[in-house]
Amino acid sequence: MELGVDPVQQQSTARTEYLSLGLAMAALRKVAVGSAGALGLATVGTAFVYRPNPWSNPPSDPLSERAGQEEESLLMKTSRLFTFVTGTAAFSILMHVLNTFELKEDEHYRKFLSLVKERPSGVPLLTVCNHCSPVDDPGVLVGMLPARVTMRPELMRWTICAQEICFKWTAAGTGFGSGKVMPIARGSGVDQRLLLNFYRRLLGGGWCHIFPEGHCEQGGSLGGRPAGVGRDEHGRLKWGVGKMIAHAPVTPVVIPLFHTGMANLVPINPLTRKILHALPRMGHTVTARAGRAISFDDLLEDHERRHGRLRKLSLPSKSCLPPTGDSGGGEGPPPGQFSFSSSSSVVIPGGGEGDVLWRSTREERQLYSRIARRVEEALLQLEAEARRDLGQSYPGYPAESAALLATHGRGGGGP
């Protein structure tokens, strides 16, 4: 103790300083909580404003109207960051802690990873994947990609989800929308406006990820159209993937992905197509692999040789856009318009006229079918490789689903 210092006074001073520090820390905590709450409300509010609205007529997606043409707002970016960080954390636990994830890290996977992280400017990436459960996306991608990628929204994919599942409620639409999920109307064909909105994301050089089967198939084999219901004539897969590839001004790099075991995490009643458990299961093994990039040059060249040049859909150049804040009075088409660039360029406006020009001809639909069959062949090849590598451990229907089938007979695929 120092000479000449009153011990009581010293203790009182220390107590005062401690209380002041405590009050300061409490104030900081309140400020932090309040700021976090305000930021959370702002980001959720922003996601709500910009969420895709598939039920409007025509379907509205404000962000898609400007796809590839201007930067998203800081709040929208923050909303996406919050969604992808929390999603990565949750699904990393599901895939790597509660279950076992086995990735085939060969040259095809390394090529896929390099394309996700960095591609030449304007070159789009399209990944096509089999569909086993409602949590394939983001589950499989979180398992395949490092967290430093999945927590960066600007690197991650755009995808589509049936509007009656992901966008049935406003809250769900807000969450999925901020996670770069867009609505699609199953059964409405390749000429629907919602596919057009999704397609804009590919044109901007983005990454689009789709499940061309159109629903979950939990039996272990590639699904899609049932055998005997147009499969021989049209193939297993939906033709939207063919349309996206056929009309792109820069043919996207198309990478097939294949996984097994996700059906065990979220089993589906094959008769009613309802999820059997509210929460994903644990203790299972999931495998994933990437395939060789698929080439379609021969199909496109053959079509053009027989039917003339394909219409190539492109976004207007940024130099043609009106200045920020302009209502569209500048030169060139306003945001949301784009053109089919061929020997004679046709501008596609918004609204009904654009929908008419987006329609496909009979010959183009035949090309979409051929492209979809090429994708089907690539996915079936990956399935055969997985069956060979896994042998007897290759998973089929989950035990509960298999029991229902044995009792009541074979049902459909799933959501």
In a domain, 413, yes or no: no
In a domain, 165, yes or no: yes
**What's the pLDDT score for residue 305?**
95
**What's the pLDDT score for residue 335?**
38
| Residue with token string 């960080």 | 85
**What's the pLDDT score for residue 1?**
47
Amino acid identity, position 347? V
Q: 178 and 316: one domain?
A: no
In a domain, 370, yes or no: yes
**What's the pLDDT score for residue 184?**
92
Distance CA(252)–CA(148), nearest Å, equals: 24
Q: 349 and 372: one domain?
A: no
For residue 317, give every residue at least 6 positions away whose Cβ sits within 8 Å of its Cβ, in sequence order, or none: 332
β-pair partners for 347: 339
Distance CA(71)–CA(217), nearest Å, equals: 38
Q: 351 and 241: one domain?
A: no
What CATH number does the domain containing 175 carry? 3.40.1130
Distance CA(200)–CA(408), nearest Å, equals: 44
Q: 78 and 144: one domain?
A: yes
Q: 302 and 312: one domain?
A: no
**What's the pLDDT score for residue 412?**
46
Q: Angle, nearest 10°, between helix axes 74-92 and 7-49?
A: 100
In a domain, 22, yes or no: no
DSSP 8-class letter at 153: G
Q: Measuring CA to CA, which residue among 216, 263, 256, 224 is closest to residue 395?
A: 263
- Residue 19, helix vs strand vs coil: helix
Strands 100-103 and 207-210: unpaired
- Cα angle value 63/37/34 (rounded, 5°): 140
pTM of the model: 0.82
How distant, in Å, are the alpha carbons of 69, 310, 366, 402 from that of 305? 33, 10, 14, 49
In a domain, 29, yes or no: no
In a domain, 8, yes or no: no
Quote the tokens at residue 116.
Answer: 């996700």
Q: 260 and 398: one domain?
A: yes
DSSP secondary structure, 240-257, as one string: HHHHHHHT-SSPPEEEEE
In a domain, 400, yes or no: yes
Q: Are 315 and 200 in contact (CB under 8 A)?
A: yes
Q: Are 236 and 382 in contact (CB under 8 A)?
A: no
In a domain, 15, yes or no: no
Q: 257 and 347: one domain?
A: no
Q: Which domain holds residue 339?
A: 308-323+333-357
| Residue with token string 């069956």 | 387
Q: Measuring CA to CA, which residue among 212, 208, 210 is closest to residue 235?
A: 212
Quote the tokens at residue 413.
Answer: 């695929």
User: Can you give the pLDDT of all 415 residues of the chain as single tens digits?
Assistant: 455 556 555 556 655 555 555 665 666 666 666 666 666 666 777 777 777 777 776 677 767 666 655 567 788 888 899 999 999 999 999 999 999 999 999 999 999 999 999 998 889 999 999 999 999 999 999 999 999 999 999 999 999 999 888 888 888 888 898 899 999 998 889 998 889 889 888 887 899 999 999 888 988 889 877 777 667 677 789 999 999 999 988 889 999 999 999 999 999 998 888 899 889 999 999 999 999 999 999 999 999 999 998 888 776 555 333 333 333 333 333 334 444 444 333 445 555 555 677 789 999 999 999 999 999 999 999 999 999 999 999 999 998 888 888 887 654 444 5
Q: 317 and 270: one domain?
A: no
- Chain centroid to Cα 149, Å, comes to 14
**What's the pLDDT score for residue 70?**
58
Strands 312-314 and 285-290: unpaired
**What's the pLDDT score for residue 330?**
31
For residue 196, give every residue at least 6 positions away whose Cβ sits within 8 Å of its Cβ, in sequence order, or none: 354, 355, 358
**What's the pLDDT score for residue 20?**
59
Q: Measuring CA to CA, which residue among 379, 236, 266 is closest to residue 387?
A: 379
Q: 281 and 344: one domain?
A: no
Amino acid identity, position 156? M
**Number of structural domains in the chain:** 2
**What's the pLDDT score for residue 53?**
78
The answer to whether the bond into 138 is cis (omega within 30° of 0) is: yes
Is residue 41 packed enough to be buried (19+ CB in 10 Å), middle (13-18) or exposed (0-12)?
exposed
DSSP secondary structure, 67-119, as one string: TTTSPPPHHHHHHHHHHHHHHHHHHHIIIIISSEEEE--SHHHHHHHHHHH--
Q: 178 and 299: one domain?
A: yes
